[in-house]
Amino acid sequence: MIETHLHTDILEIVLQNPPVNALGSDLRGALFGVIAAAQTNPDVKAIVLRGAGKLFSGGADIKEFGKLQAEQGLPELVDTIEASAKPVVAAIHGTALGGGLEIALGCHYRIATADARLGLPEVTLGILPGAGGTQRLPRLIGVEAALEMIVLGNPVSATRALETGLVDRLSENQSSLASDAIDFARTLNGPRRTSELSASAPAGVFEQFQATNARKIGKLDAPRACIEAVKAATELPIKEGLAKERDLFVKLLGGDQSKALRHVFFAERAAAKIDGLPKDIQLRPIGRVGVIGAGTMGGGISMNFLSAGIPVTIVEMQQDALDRGVATMRKNYDATAAKGRLTGEQVEQALGLLDPTLDFDALADCDLVIEAVYENMDVKKDIFSRLDTIAKPGAMLASNTSYLSIDEIAAVTRRPQDVLGLHFFSPANVMKLVEVVRGEKTAPDVLATGMALARKIGKVPVVSGVCYGFIGNRMLIPRQEQATALVLEGATPEDVDRVHTEFGMPMGPFQMADLAGVDIGWHRDPERIESLRDALCAQKRWGQKTGAGFYDYDERRKPSSSPVVAEIIEDFRQKEGIVPRTISDEEIITRTLYTMVNEGAKILDEAIAQRASDIDVIWNYGYGWPRHKGGPMFWAELVGLAHIVDALEQSRAQLGEAFTLSPLLKRCAAEGISFDEGARQ
Ligand code: 3HC
């Protein structure tokens, strides 16, 4: 867990707990021991504490959370380090995060490599720095800088840390760090304790910070508690401030928001793992990517690769479509540059890697080709059989389809093992999610390469099996069906959307339909009106793009309730003989969100998703499910699967003939087990 070296009069302690030197109970125990021993060792004049491997420390061991007993000890350890009679220097490289930085704050001096990053990201896990961070940091660097780090959770660079006084000096790199720290320690006369400083707050600083960050703070408990704790640092003596911090920490740790956010942390990392693949699988080299289609999706997809320095050949059928596509990419890049997120040079560099062409044969050079044309199986089959004759051996062939069968597409090629789905979400240059679709015959190295490449371009990839709509969109189907049925039975689109936005979704089903286009998948016959959607489409209410959908839109796309839609709904009710009734928010939740959970359970049962948490990651990154509610499957377990089954059973009459409860959901509810436990049985 730790290694120690005595360099004449300086004791060097090296944390060794790969991969991130998390401060679990064993490591803490070892540190208590060695710090105590150093106090009575006459040979030791000062102590240097550093981390082995890639970083100083990633903080407390998050896996120990929930076992409160196990996680106690970190605050005491920091206090013990600070109480040391011999000066202690933290030598930081890589990152010092959370409890890792709090340990460094307990040390009397800090030295960091120039590329190190220091932060207190606890708030992103729904907690606050619980080992003195909220009390020591404002004392050391001032309230305003501390609020930024603690409440927003953003790490700072070593240079910024030097400016604010968080570190005392910099060392060039990891190789020079240990010896610089030892030399520095030798110059020190005695300890210098941060807790002995005082933190004062300029008038109104907390109120102003809260107001400026109101949107980010929203309904979250942790940022509020962080502010309260930092305020305590300015009002209370250290001991009482630390007690207040502990109090707030324990409350947050036991709350649902923190449980959900910690779930999301591990879910994201689990999603990167593909069941049944050897860890050392050889990836296919991807030097150039081909994209077929320069529309919104094709352009957005290309930008991801260009931004990551990977050349792209983009193919279109018509020159004007190609020109339009390239112009849109430039416009998007320029907009990013205007916001200061890219330099003009970076924009030119990215676009310099783009090769637009009308020549399909140019794809022969590419190691991966992604088809991004509209959703039509015949068109896709045609493209893939042409690709099969052109693409070089070993090239990966991907479709960006949102719904269609990758197996059917792969079957038209002589190399189905090289075919996979790469389902990007719109706008593809912004949205982080990619469903990496594993066809029946997709080779393991193709899947692994698809996942690795998606990560390389900054995406969050999740594996999905083949089914209509894959994981995310398939779950949208019952939600939309029920949302529409609810409206016919008596709710308004506004009611349904409000329940979703109050829940924390960025938009409700009808707002989403208006944004995406109400006409997507419409049969385009204005005379054939079989659904509410048909009625809207027949009146060219195609959503935001036509200024009218389920809502009316003004020139600035501001929505308002539509009397026309209310009339269309009323006509429909009369035609169907429906007498509208009052629909409660609870019923809207049951019939839209619980039905989605039910579909998720079916997806898990069919092994389309590898694990329940993968479904959660898809909803976090593809559809804006609020992270502090974990994801639909985690949330369902929190609500109680038995409660969900009961509510769905009770709504059975309204859910319609076609509705079936997932056997997995029923079994998990009956046995009181989690989705994953149920799926493993
Ligand atoms: N506790 C337990 N496990 C951790 C961990 C932690 N603090 N940090 C990372 N891990 C695990 C990950 O789950 C992953 O496990 P896996 O291989 O089994 O999936 C493994 O370590 C490697 O993690 P990453 O894939 O994230 O590695 P990277 O190199 O990409 O990133 C990192 C390293 C920047 C340290 C990143 O892991 C990270 O951000 N970790 C969390 C940092 C954090 O939030 N710290 C605060 C903890 S709470 C705290 O300290 C409370 C205190 O105030 C009382």
Is residue 520 very low, low, confident or very high in pLDDT (cuts 50, 70, 90)? confident
Q: Using alpha carbons, list the distances in angstroms from residue 362 to 81, 295, 369, 418.
A: 64, 18, 11, 19
Q: Does 68 have pLDDT greater than 80?
A: no
Residue nearest to atom 35 of ligand 1 (CA): 58
Length of the chain: 681
Q: Residue written as tokens 């300086």?
A: 10
Cα 182 from Cα 127, distance rounded (Å): 35
Report the nearest atom of ligand 1 relative to the CA of 63: 2
Residue nearest to atom 46 of ligand 1 (CA): 98
* pLDDT given at position 254: 92
Say if CB 127 and CB 258 are below 8 A apart. Answer: yes
Beta strands in 365-441 (DSSP E): 368-371, 396-399, 419-424, 433-437
Inter-axis angle of helices 493-503 and 509-516, nearest 10? 100
* pLDDT given at position 515: 93
Cα 643 from Cα 325, distance rounded (Å): 49
Say if CB 31 and CB 50 are below 8 A apart. Answer: no
Q: Residue written as tokens 């998703």?
A: 609
Cα 632 from Cα 245, distance rounded (Å): 31
* pLDDT given at position 355: 97
Say if CB 78 and CB 105 are below 8 A apart. Answer: yes
Q: What percent of the chain has pLDDT over 90?
A: 92
Report the nearest atom of ligand 1 relative to the CA of 121: 44
Other residues' Cβ atoms within 10 Å of the Cβ of residue 217: 20
Is residue 279 very low, low, confident or very high in pLDDT (cuts 50, 70, 90)? confident
Cα 280 from Cα 295, distance rounded (Å): 37
Say if CB 637 and CB 674 are below 8 A apart. Answer: yes
Report the nearest atom of ligand 1 relative to the CA of 62: 1
Cα 47 from Cα 54, distance rounded (Å): 21
Backbone angles phi, psi at 661, to 5 degrees: -80, 140
Say if CB 495 and CB 467 are below 8 A apart. Answer: no
Is residue 275 very low, low, confident or very high in pLDDT (cuts 50, 70, 90)? confident
Q: How far does residue 75's CA lie from ligand 1's centre (Å)?
A: 19
Identified catalytic residue from 12, 102, 494, 599: 102
Q: How far does residue 266's CA lie from ligand 1's centre (Å)?
A: 9
Other residues' Cβ atoms within 10 Å of the Cβ of residue 461: 25
CA atoms within 13 A on the CB side of 300: 19
pLDDT tens digits, one per residue of 245-261: 999 999 999 999 999 99
Residue nearest to atom 26 of ligand 1 (CA): 269
Report the nearest atom of ligand 1 relative to the CA of 273: 19
pLDDT tens digits, one per residue of 96-121: 999 999 999 999 999 999 999 999 99
Report the nearest atom of ligand 1 relative to the CA of 125: 44
As a whole number, the mean pLDDT across the chain is: 95
Q: How far does residue 98's CA lie from ligand 1's centre (Å)?
A: 10
Q: How far does residue 96's CA lie from ligand 1's centre (Å)?
A: 11
Amino acid identity for residue 267 in this structure: A
Six-digit token string for 157: 């660079």
Q: How far does residue 58's CA lie from ligand 1's centre (Å)?
A: 5
Q: Is 207 a catalytic residue?
A: no
Q: Ligand 1 site: residues with CB under 6 angstroms? A: 19-20, 22, 58-63, 74, 95, 97-99, 102, 121-122, 125, 129-131, 133, 266, 269
Rg (CA), the chain: 28
Cα 76 from Cα 106, distance rounded (Å): 10
Q: How far does residue 20's CA lie from ligand 1's centre (Å)?
A: 6
Q: Using alpha carbons, list the distances in angstroms from residue 208 to 152, 234, 235, 655.
A: 14, 16, 18, 48
Is residue 72 very low, low, confident or very high in pLDDT (cuts 50, 70, 90)? low
Q: Residue written as tokens 């068109």?
A: 379
Residue nearest to atom 8 of ligand 1 (CA): 58
Is residue 69 very low, low, confident or very high in pLDDT (cuts 50, 70, 90)? low
Six-digit token string for 160: 């910024």
pLDDT tens digits, one per residue of 376-407: 999 999 999 999 999 999 999 999 999 999 99
Select the more confidently predicted residue: 681 or 96: 96
CA 43 to chain centre: 49
* pLDDT given at position 656: 85
> What is the three-class DSSP state of 168?
coil
Cα 428 from Cα 623, distance rounded (Å): 13
Q: Which of 20, 79, 117 to mutate to test the pocket of ligand 1 (most atoms within 8 A of CB)?
A: 20
Q: How far does residue 93's CA lie from ligand 1's centre (Å)?
A: 16
Report the nearest atom of ligand 1 relative to the CA of 249: 54
Identified catalytic residue from 12, 71, 122, 587: 122
Q: How many helices (H) and strands (E) does the chain have?
A: 32, 19
Residue nearest to atom 19 of ligand 1 (CA): 269
Beta strands in 429-535 (DSSP E): 433-437, 460-464
Is residue 544 very low, low, confident or very high in pLDDT (cuts 50, 70, 90)? very high
> What is the three-class DSSP state of 69?
helix
Provide the β-strand partners of residue 156.
118
Beta strands 169-171 and 354-357 are unpaired
Q: Is 527 a catalytic residue?
A: no
Q: What percent of the chain has pLDDT over 70?
A: 99
pLDDT tens digits, one per residue of 333-382: 999 999 999 999 999 999 999 999 999 999 999 999 999 998 899 999 99
Average pLDDT over residues 77-95: 97
Cα 436 from Cα 449, distance rounded (Å): 10
Sequence-ordered list of residues with C-beta below 8 angstroms from that of 161, at least 6 positions apart, any chain: 110, 112, 116, 118, 167
Cα 552 from Cα 541, distance rounded (Å): 9
